[in-house]
Structure 1
């Protein structure tokens, strides 16, 4: 079957966890064909280059630039049509749940489902207008859009924060909606693009899933949405009070909430990376019966050597690995390690990771200062805490560190799916983890789990494992067996293969078969031999048959 793989800023141009997962999915499902549609941004997309060679099952790659042209100028009728659809969209976004929209004849408050219906109707109306007129970019940036947003924010039953929107806030909201609705203007929704697919697979929520919605609306192609990081949750976490004014954050949160609800309603199946993400999807309106849990896959062969007992050379070392940023809560780990050293003075701590941007670099400097303050009597060159980078130019292998250490520690305040914890399990190491995100689900009784932000509990668990090598060995062996059973690339790929077949069997694409004698024989000859309503030539008719320069019957007479 042919799959339209919808990505954003990832495969096949950009690396990272999302790009690596897409690469493994495409290569693992060699029995399927893939057309990759990348909503990317950056010089690689503009140059059309690929960082890795694509497998033969990838038939083609289409990209969308980070900008859209202004598009054609609208006539009066098109401007009126755009104003009506955008007004309805803005009204559905800005209205409070359970409030009455300003529509004629509305007497009772609209339930949340009605707002989603109105949002979806307006969204597809804008998509049809974009398809007919060749784009929406100019209209979405126009004064008509800003005035529609202003009326929606000033409506009596609009969101409380939206009432306070100023002109600058309205311009900011309009610019964000223009970026979010750019997929409406793409030429991907015909029989030569996504319409030829048997399935659309959006590798994340947001804009890729919006492309899948339009393919479903125009061509009837079923949609599968995979969210390892729930799009709406990510928006909430990244739009704090310091990012924008309250009115802007309220309206944009409502827009993403309405879009997520429409995606969840239209998708045939949803996949979550763990139970934590699955609960978020259910809270955002997804039907529990249509959600499947598919754990991310990790290449187990990379850690096969690290699982050998002969490599366990340093039984008194704790290891932490991951990207360095404030969400990882390394300060709690350092305070806990200070208590561990009072119980086991020969214990050492290795921190492996690369800072994530300027914020991560500043946090790493703060952790280094905290470690120097906690251990002021450490000899020069023999500090119990070592900070090592895992990327170039240091090239410290995480698997080697896991192999040499005794206990792997995971301390984090905010955590999704703990990929680093899975790597430690594949190395056969006992683990101590803070109970955040999907940690308890991944561990499943093969490691110790403690409350987050609790240095004393973290220290007691580490000391208990350091003093009991037999327990460490038992937990490590059980952890490796669990990881090999649930969290490998092969397991992930096999699960998606089953989902593809399930959707294809349950929701086959009904494409119109060519009708015999749908066009008269004269249509194969030069000239306009049919009426205006029949001039759409069937597939296989040569291009010269539609040549407008050929004389008509009347002209020949």
Structure 2
């Protein structure tokens, strides 16, 4: 079996939970042949992973590199028709009664734009042409019912079309044949999968670790782009997410929380199976001792989504109750988050925590980070089903986490789950566990037992095997409905969905 795994900004060029998951799939199924399609910044990225023997190819699709040479002349009717439909779906306010109509129109428009590129048209040039800018301004004037905010200026339209040109580049990129395309997330990666389905009829699987659309909303909260540009960008991501749910054959949310978001945005429950991340217990052995002083450990990248400011503020309150306590933050800092890293260091200084709270950088073995803490904390404002929580649990460490994504589903009653951005609640939970040895040890043992029962790597890999083999196996006439069972169950026989508007060939 040949599987194309699509990622955006993750594997194999960056560390993180999604990258770990990609590596687990490829190495955990050595009898399959894999290729990776990676959406990158400019194509100069270098892999941070050793290449598995069964990974045949990594294809980079740079989204933000320099402008390519453009062919002259205005775009033809092959572009203007689909682009008009694209703008109509993008700019018209969401119809609360029949939102699926807008999602379907958006998918049709994307197909039309791809066909224009496949027929030899320069889609990039067309998207930033004077004609495209004029069409956007006219569409906003004609279709935008609510005009409480100022209409976009020409400069706004130019900025918006520039953004769209970069984000729609996967529609023009070459795509290799495979038996299955598996997207590691929603969003721009799904454009690659759509092209594969339109060109070859390839079945599509989509996993969502975090909710891509929700994270786009969060990222635009404090963006300084003009209002109209933000409206069009978020409308694009919302429309794309909904269109992706329409065309995907199997949707594999990584938590029940993700599943609820997906259903709200148009996903078909008959195509959905919740599939939790798993870890290899041998790689995360139970800790046999505790640090000499009460210690809170954090493991993960330094990133605004991890909300380390809340953790640092919580630690200041912990120190008032447990003066000997330490906070050890393990994990690297992506280049784009350097300013956030500096803000964390400033906050530590402002709160007088130097020496007690330390950002220690990347660590060779994640298990060592968990063993270095008496407890493990995660104060994110957005998560899917985070590996760090399950890994810490496998090490026998109780966790203090914020209630985002599938965190509460992972932790259950083996730790403490509090509201996000509530540093006082985080502090109170940490103090409780640091002061009560019996409670801490009991919850740590229960945490490891929960991982062994529900969240092992073997269980996770077998679930994906069931999906893959079910998608490529023909469905016999009269087969009864089926559901993805436990790892020991035979592979389900899934009917690849092919809506008429998906335009399979």
TM-score, reference length from structure 1: 0.76
Q: Relative to 1, partners in 2 of residues 1:298 and 1:367: Cα closer, same or farther, differing over 3 Å?
A: farther
What is the aligned partner in structure 2 of residue 246 from structure 1?
227
Tell me if the contact between 1:352 and 1:390 (Cα under 8 Å) persists in the aligned partners. yes
Structure-to-structure mapping, 1:155-170, within 5 angstroms: 155-158=142-145, 160=147, 164-170=151-157
* Cα displacement (A) at 1:12: 3.5
Match of 1:530 in 2: none
Q: State the distance in 1 between where 2:381 and 2:497 align.
A: 45
Find the partner of 1:317 among 295, 299, 318.
295
Which of the numbers 437, 441, 444 marks the counterpart of 2:412? 444
- Select the residue among 145, 167, 190 that pairs with 1:180: 167
CA distance in 2, matches of 1:5, 1:334: 37
- The aligned residue for residue 215 of structure 1 is 196
Q: Alignment partner for residue 440 of structure 2, among 465, 468, 472?
A: 472
SS at match of 1:428: coil
| Structure 2 residue aligned with 1:492 | 460
Cα deviation for residue 476 of structure 1 reads 0.7
Give distance in 2, aligned partners of 1:325 and 1:54: 26
Q: Distance in 1 between matches of 2:377 and 2:59?
A: 42
| Secondary structure of the corresponding residue to residue 252 of structure 2 | strand
Q: Say yes or no: does 1:424 pair with 2:392.
A: yes
CA distance in 2: counterparts of 1:401 and 1:97, whole angstroms:
46
Structure-1 residue corresponding to 2:402:
434
Change (3 A) 1:467 1:476: same
**Counterpart pick for 1:154 among 141, 152, 156:** 141
Q: Residues 26 and 402 (structure 1 numbering): CA distance in 2 closer, same or farther, change over 3 Å?
A: closer
* Cα distance in 2 between the residues matched to 1:396 and 1:38: 25
2:259 alignment partner, one of 278, 290, 313: 278
Does the CA-based 8 Å contact 1:94-1:152 persist in structure 2? yes
Alpha-carbon contact 1:86-1:126 (below 8 Å) kept: yes
Deviation at 1:261, TM superposition (A): 1.3
- Find the residue that maps to 2:88 and give its secondary structure: helix
Q: How far apart are residue 95 of structure 1 and its match?
A: 1.0
- Does the 8 A contact of 2:277 with 2:455 survive in 1? yes
- Aligned partner of 2:37 in structure 1 is 37
Q: Which residue of 2 aligns with 1:93?
A: 90
Residues 386 and 61 (structure 1 numbering): CA distance in 2 closer, same or farther, change over 3 Å? closer
Asked if 1:361 corresponds to 2:332, the answer is no
Would you say the 8 A contact 2:390–2:410 is kept in 1? yes
Per the alignment, residue 370 of structure 2 pairs with 402
Corresponding position: 1:295 with 2:276: yes
Work out whether residues 6 and 211 of structure 1, in 8 Å CA contact, stay in contact via their aligned partners in 2: yes
Does structure 1 retain, via aligned residues, the 8 Å contact 2:34–2:55?
yes
Report Cα offsets for 1:123-159 as digits up to 9, x if no partner: 2122222111254122222111111111101105445
Task: Tell me how far apart the structure 1 counterparts of residues 436 and 30 of structure 2 sit (CA, whole Å).
Answer: 46
Change (3 A) 1:162 1:177: farther
Alignment-derived partner of residue 483 in structure 2: none
Matches of 1:157 and 1:453, distance apart in 2: 35
Note the C-alpha offset of 1:73. 5.4
Long gaps (5+) in structure 2? 474-493, 499-505
Distance 2:12 2:306 in 1: 29
Q: Following superposition of structure 1 onto structure 2, how do residues 39-188 of structure 1 map, counting pairs within 5 Å?
A: 39-44=39-44, 52-66=49-63, 69-70=68-69, 79-98=76-95, 111-158=98-145, 160=147, 164-188=151-175
Contact 1:325/1:359 (<8 A) preserved:
no
RMSD of equivalent CA atoms:
3.1
1:293 alignment partner, SS class: coil
Considering Cα pairs closer than 8 Å and 6+ residues apart, tell me whether 1 or 2 has the greater RCO: 2
* Distance across 1 between alignment mates of 2:149 and 2:316: 49
TM superposition shift of 1:334: 5.0
Q: CA deviation at 1:39?
A: 2.8
Q: Structure 2 CA distance, aligned partners of 1:332 and 1:144? A: 47
* 1:72/1:134 contact within 8 Å kept: no
Q: Give the stretch that moved more between structures: 7-16 or 487-496.
A: 7-16
SS in structure 1 opposite 2:273? Answer: strand
Residues 448 and 23 of structure 1, relative CA distance in 2, 3 Å threshold:
closer
Shift of 1:431: 2.5
Pairwise CA distance, 1:500: 0.7
In 2, distance between residues paired with 1:344 and 1:137?
59
CA contact (8 A) 2:43 2:61 kept: no
The 8 Å contact of residues 90 and 149 in structure 1, kept in 2 or not, is answered as yes
The answer to whether residue 206 in structure 2 is matched with residue 225 in structure 1 is yes
1:272–1:291 contact (8 Å) kept in structure 2: yes
Q: Which range is displaced more, 445-454 or 84-93? A: 445-454
1:349/1:384 contact within 8 Å kept = no
Higher mean Cα deviation, 499-508 or 424-433?
A: 499-508
What is the CA distance between 1:248 and its match in structure 2? 0.7
2:88 touches 2:143 (CA, 8 Å); kept in 1?
no
Displacement of 1:370 in angstroms is 3.7
